[in-house]
Chain A
Amino acid sequence: MASVELKNVSKSYGSLEVIDTLNLSIADGSFTVFVGPSGCGKSTLLRMVAGLEPISKGDVIIDGRRVNDADPIQRGIAMVFQNYALYPHMTVEQNIGFSLRMAKLDKPAIAQRVAAAAATLQIEPLLKRRPAQLSGGQRQRVAIGRAIVRNPEVFLFDEPLSNLDAELRVSMRVEIAKLHNTLKSTMIYVTHDQTEAMTLADQIVVMRAGKIEQVGTPDGLYEDPQNLFVAGFIGSPRMNFLRASPSNGSVQLEAGPTLAISGAPSTQDMVVGIRPEHFVFGGDGPQLTITADVIENLGGTRYLYGTTKSGEALIVEAREQTGITSGDQVSVGLRTERALFFESSGQRLKLSAAS
């Protein structure tokens, strides 16, 4: 186990900068998820930690040791790739034991550790098969087995679940969480799926365009995003954003109601963010009138996709409202105390609802 420290790390290909002077510390034994849209540099950053990508500037420190020039094997990392990257010409057993073979362990020791890894992942019956004879989920287990057999200091996962179908993805997600609980190793996990980030992480690192937007716990990011991007990226369905402008101790939504706030924003245009679950039907809060476009019934809950009078799209969770059909005019109450306020540039405004 080891901590990982990134100090002023940057990466550029010629004049193209993909990671821009980035600082991050990852605690020993934590589960850290890098999340962001494709092309944000999250995979590149992981590969820089792994030693597969040279570091242009700054230092990568694993377990207190600067590893910029160390080979992956010297860094004590193991990696699970998105497309599994199993060696097609080797059996599962040989795949898992390959790194031990490279480390020149003797055969009984390799067999013993491969068996232990296989037992952890419950893949013992597959040991004699080749990758081509495995299903996607089994291949991913073998790929994870290949990582755990080495007892690495740090596990690196590069979008390991994105090639699996939806159902399998959920069950593998749970298994990875269990694995982390058992092994208690430091894990760094890259994904573009905010659900995976929310469910797995101790610490989420939200990235965009080579920069860290915010670092925090899942709850911290969900409740207290620092900017519009994080607010929109974390949470599913995503947060609603409504155009607004300040007026004398309150905020006037273009879509209709006025929200009473404490604190006076200096900006002219602003955005109010409110999550789908922070609406109430009835009640005495500020009311929004929307036209229902689509009702998405998920069984356990339902989401109402509508349009406000100002033409803005809005998603409202309507768990109990069974009677609404598309085309209906619906009035929904907005829980002002849960609303977040942003400058139009994207920065969060620290305002709160007047009590």
Chain B
Amino acid sequence: MANKNLKAAGAHSMAILASLVMVIPIYLIAVNAFKSRAQASAMSMELPTEWHFENFSTVIAQGKLWTSFFNSLLYATASTAITTLVSAMAAYVLSRARTRGRRFLYLFIIMGIALPINYFTLTSVMQFTNLNNTRLGIILLYAATQIPFTVFLIYGFIETIPKELDEAAIVDGCKPLSLFFLIILPLLTPVLATAAILNFLGVWSDFIFPLYYLNSSANWPMTLAVYNFFGQFQQDWNLVSADILLTILPVIVVYLLGQRFILSGLTSGGVKG
């Protein structure tokens, strides 16, 4: 009994420790976003002595945050839509009709999960295709990098959809496209929601690609807008914090709205297991 309690206490303290690792940075950002410039320069844990709500309006105005917000929204939405649709189609074909060639193709695609992107001559490719510093370029780049994991995710899910459904649809007169869009895609909803949320959040939070491939600040997403307040000669930690808080706000909203879609189990019942 004592042993059991000890284990529970140990597990609890581990959980608390892990939570602290997650919570402390958010707390730091949250309190410092309301401080004056002078007080925020220490980035301490203490509460603001006076609350500077105007930090947020300053950030939005000075950092052209609305433009950045719409850039972020565009990149995340467009690349997520492309990734999810293309991956679902690819995963369906690769999972259903397994030949040696397709097996190779599948393994080749999911290799993209593991390979370090920095080792590829992406910049040359982007320049050669005239996609450098363009909105389309960054959208395609995100789609390309998200596809391997998304294919992997959906591929496993497709195995749970019985092949008889495809056959029933073919007997009912479906052509390949109507089979995919009317039968398969609706049944993939749970995994598509998962994939879409993960992709959206991944793109929204990314900092590296825009830094490399978007030179003009008009194309910057929210994550890069922080550079408006942080530079060699100027370090407004209160504004940086406010900017970060505004940047992560949509992420939290999407996560809270989306999490209930992740587990909905649409496929149960159509076919006896």
Interface: A183 (CB within 8 A): no
Q: Which chain A positions have C-beta within 8 A of B267?
A: 88
Q: Which chain B positions have C-beta within 8 A of A52?
A: 167, 170-171
CB distance from A165 to the nearest CB of B (A): 12
Instruction: State whether A84 and B270 are in contact (beta carbons under 8 Å apart), knowing that A52-B167, A79-B168, A89-B187 are contacts in the complex.
Output: yes
Contact pattern, A 59-99, Cβ under 8 Å of B = 1, otherwise 0 = 00000000000011100011101111111110000000011
Q: Which of B160-219 contact A (CB under 8 A)?
A: 162, 164-165, 167-174, 178, 183, 186-187, 189
Instruction: State whether A102 and B174 are in contact (beta carbons under 8 Å apart), knowing that A85-B168, A88-B187, A89-B266 are contacts in the complex.
Output: yes
Instruction: State whether A78 and B187 are in contact (beta carbons under 8 Å apart), knowing that A88-B269, A133-B269 are contacts in the complex.
Output: no
Interface: B268 (CB within 8 A): yes
Interface: B271 (CB within 8 A): yes
In whole angstroms, what is the CA distance A133 to B269 when docked? 7
Instruction: State whether A85 and B164 are in contact (beta carbons under 8 Å apart), knowing that A73-B172, A79-B171, A99-B173 are contacts in the complex.
Output: yes
CB distance from A291 to the nearest CB of B (A): 43
Q: Which chain B positions have C-beta within 8 A of A89?
A: 186-187, 189, 266, 270
In whole angstroms, what is the CA distance A133 to B268 when docked? 10
Q: Are B270 and A85 in contact (CB under 8 A)?
A: yes
Q: Which of B94-108 contact A (CB under 8 A)?
A: none
Contact pattern, A 130-153, Cβ under 8 Å of B = 1, otherwise 0 = 111110100100000010000000
In whole angstroms, what is the CA distance A86 to B169 when docked? 9
Contact-size category for B: 20 to 34
Interface: B272 (CB within 8 A): yes
Q: Whose C-beta in chain B lies nearest to the C-beta of A71? A: B170
Q: Whose C-beta in chain A lies nearest to the C-beta of B168? A: A85
Contact of A77 among B169, B171, B270, B271 (CB under 8 A): B171
Q: Are A86 and B270 in contact (CB under 8 A)?
A: yes
Q: Are A73 and B165 in contact (CB under 8 A)?
A: no
Instruction: State whether A85 and B178 are in contact (beta carbons under 8 Å apart), knowing that A71-B170, A73-B172 are contacts in the complex.
Output: no
Q: Are B171 and A72 in contact (CB under 8 A)?
A: yes
CB distance from A295 to the nearest CB of B (A): 36
CB distance from B269 to the nearest CB of A (A): 3
Q: Which of B238-273 contact A (CB under 8 A)?
A: 266-272
Interface: A4 (CB within 8 A): no
Interface: A354 (CB within 8 A): no
A-B contact pairs, 28 of them (CB 8 A): A50-B171, A52-B167, A71-B173, A72-B170, A73-B173, A77-B171, A79-B167, A79-B168, A79-B171, A81-B167, A81-B168, A83-B272, A84-B272, A85-B164, A85-B167, A85-B271, A86-B270, A87-B165, A88-B267, A88-B268, A89-B187, A89-B189, A98-B169, A98-B172, A102-B173, A103-B173, A130-B269, A163-B272
3 closest A-B pairs by CB:
A132-B269, A88-B270, A102-B173
User: Which residues of A line the B interface, CB within 8 A?
Assistant: 50-52, 71-73, 77-79, 81-89, 98-99, 102-103, 130-134, 136, 139, 146, 163
